[in-house]
């Protein structure tokens, strides 16, 4: 396969018009939910085949019209009025848009092979760095790749899924259809007075002093690899049959991934995993037992737990390191990302320098079986190789 050369032709910052801007220059404190997110830019890359894509001007017009309704994306990081804490400055400073070309036929190329050239090079250490950045790359064949980089403390994957859908609707309707999102974060994280945290959040949501999990590795550590595993609909049906009881696709895939990751890592039998199950018990447990442990853990995150987490954040001003996680993007409606010429033909999950991160991604096209999923798992090379040999085993 030939090497694809991506050439950047233009870089600009697009600001909402004064008539549409909604930021108002306000400074907004980060909530505990923002602070619990990775202090990093998270990328996403979508690809569309064919020459029927809207022009770059149409994409940019729809983008800036939509961004105006999401003022946090058009803002910047700053410090509060006391010059102490990190905050959002809703100054409508805009989003960076990079325009690029690629010599090649998109249908013949492996987008993931030159993934790092398909999104803007965001750097959180730069002053006045845009929190949301977009790269539009046109291939010789007419194919389009849209790569985005969004700071995770501004928006998580679910929020960005809503934004992407709104952007595509704006382009399809020439900005006649625009969203009215609820963006008042101060009302979603109100602590009790006085705060009364009831759970050990420092060692659960954050990497506290008694957390046994490893730190996020150096992003240049070449021993950390990303593995993509496709689970077809029949495999997922077989998994659910093993459980016996009603369970979600995420629950059965997480149960399977949990068992296989523990085996691939070769953890000592006495090791404890996140929901306090010994590795020996986990590896020998049936799928119904593992799904039950996951379901019980999810059920414990109720209103009281969330309120406790909010109270914890109000009483703790430190920025701490996020712990390991498994993310489900199975509810993201990628097939709704239609600028007027169909849904994307491919999506490449973010390649984060974070050992142990597992993401479940749905298929792009609605015609594909809805139970299909791709699992992206990032770990050390020797664990990835071991996982490859057992990832489809139902033992």
HEC assignment per residue over the chain = CCCCCEEEEEEEEECCCCCCCCCCCEEEECCHHHHCCCCCEEEEEEEECCCCCCCHHHHHHHHHHHHCCCCCCCCEEEECCCCCCEEEEECCCCEEEEEEEECCCHHHCCHHHHHHHCCCCCCCCCCCCCCEEEEEEEECCCCEEEEEEEECCCCCHHHHHHHHHHHHHHHHCCCCCCCCCCCCHHHCCCCCCCCCCCCCHHHCCECCCCCCCCCCCCCCCCCEEEEEEEECHHHHHHHHHHHCCCCCHHHHHHHHHHHHHHHHHCCCCCCECCCCCEHHHHHHCCHHHHHHHHHHHHHCCCHHHHHHHHHHHHHCCCCCCECCCEEECCCCCHHHCCCCCCCCCEEECCCCCCCCCEEEECCCCCCCCCCCEEEEEEEEHHHHHHHHHHCCCCC
Q: What local confidence, expressed as pLDDT, does residue 15 receive? A: 96
Domain ranges of the chain: 6-183, 201-330+352-390
pTM comes to 0.81
Give the residue numbers marked as catalytic: 152, 338
Q: Which burial class, exposed, middle or buried, applies to 202 when counting CB atoms under 10 A from its CB (0-12, 13-18, 19+)?
A: middle
Q: What local confidence, expressed as pLDDT, does residue 319 receive? A: 47
Q: What is the pLDDT of residues 119-156, one digit of tens each?
A: 999 999 998 999 999 999 999 888 999 999 999 999 98
The answer to whether 13 touches 96, Cβ cutoff 8 Å, is yes
Question: Do the domains 201-330+352-390 and 6-183 match in fold?
Answer: yes
Q: What local confidence, expressed as pLDDT, does residue 273 receive? A: 55
Q: What average pLDDT is seen over the chain?
A: 80
Fold of 201-330+352-390: Chloramphenicol Acetyltransferase (3.30.559)
Q: Which of 32-36, 188-192, 270-274, 374-378 has the lowest mean pLDDT?
A: 270-274
CA distances from 89 to 22, 72, 76, 267 (A): 12, 8, 5, 45
Q: What local confidence, expressed as pLDDT, does residue 218 receive? A: 47
pLDDT-based confidence at residue 327 (cuts at 50, 70, 90): confident
Q: What is the pLDDT of residues 17-69, one digit of tens each?
A: 999 988 889 998 888 778 778 889 999 999 998 777 889 999 999 999 999 99
Q: What is the pLDDT of residues 212-231, one digit of tens each?
A: 444 444 444 566 778 888 99
Q: What local confidence, expressed as pLDDT, does residue 368 receive? A: 53
Across 315-319, 352-356, 383-387, the highest mean pLDDT is recorded for 383-387
User: 6-183 falls under which CATH superfamily?
Assistant: Chloramphenicol acetyltransferase-like domain (3.30.559.10)
Across 54-68, 292-306, 319-333, the highest mean pLDDT is recorded for 54-68
Say whether pLDDT at 2 is over 80.
no
Q: What local confidence, expressed as pLDDT, does residue 289 receive? A: 67
């Amino acid at each position: 396969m030939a090497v694809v050369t991506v050439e950047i032709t233009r870089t600009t910052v697009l600001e909402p018009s004064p008539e549409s801007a909604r930021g108002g220059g306000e400074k907004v404190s980060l909530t505990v939910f923002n602070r619990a997110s990775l202090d990093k830019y998270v990328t996403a890359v979508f690809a569309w085949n064919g020459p029927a894509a809207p022009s770059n001007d149409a994409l940019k017009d729809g983008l800036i019209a939509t961004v105006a309704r999401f003022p946090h994306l058009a803002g910047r990081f700053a410090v509060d009025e006391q010059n102490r804490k990190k905050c959002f400055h809703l100054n409508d400073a805009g989003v960076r848009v990079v325009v690029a070309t690629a010599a090649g036929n998109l249908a013949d190329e492996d987008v993931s092979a030159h993934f790092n050239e398909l999104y803007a090079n965001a750097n959180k250490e730069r002053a006045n760095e845009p929190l949301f950045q977009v790269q539009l790359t046109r291939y010789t064949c007419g194919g389009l790749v849209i790569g985005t980089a969004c700071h995770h403390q501004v928006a998580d994957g679910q929020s960005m899924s809503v934004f992407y859908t709104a952007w595509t609707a704006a382009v399809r309707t020439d900005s006649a259809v625009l969203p009215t999102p609820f963006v008042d974060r101060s009302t979603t994280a109100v602590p009790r007075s006085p705060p009364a945290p009831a759970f050990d959040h420092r060692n659960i949501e954050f990497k506290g002093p008694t957390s046994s999990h490893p730190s996020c590795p150096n992003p240049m550590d070449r021993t950390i690899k990303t593995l993509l595993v496709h689970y077809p609909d029949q495999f997922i049906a077989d998994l659910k049959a093993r459980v016996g009881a009603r369970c979600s696709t995420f629950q059965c895939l997480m149960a399977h991934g949990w068992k296989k990751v523990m085996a691939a890592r070769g953890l000592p039998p006495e090791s404890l995993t996140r929901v306090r199950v010994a590795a020996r018990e986990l590896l020998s447990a049936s799928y119904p037992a593992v799904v039950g442990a996951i379901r019980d853990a999810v059920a414990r995150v109720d209103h009281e737990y969330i309120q406790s987490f909010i109270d914890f954040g109000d009483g703790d001003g430190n920025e701490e390191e996020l712990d390991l996680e498994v993310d489900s993007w199975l509810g993201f409606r990628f097939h709704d990302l239609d600028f007027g010429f169909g849904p994307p033909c491919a999506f490449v999950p973010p390649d984060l320098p974070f050992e142990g991160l597992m993401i479940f991604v749905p298929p792009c096209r609605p015609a594909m079986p809805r139970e299909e999923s791709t699992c992206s798992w990032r770990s050390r090379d020797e664990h990835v190789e071991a996982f490859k040999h057992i990832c489809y085993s139902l033992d």
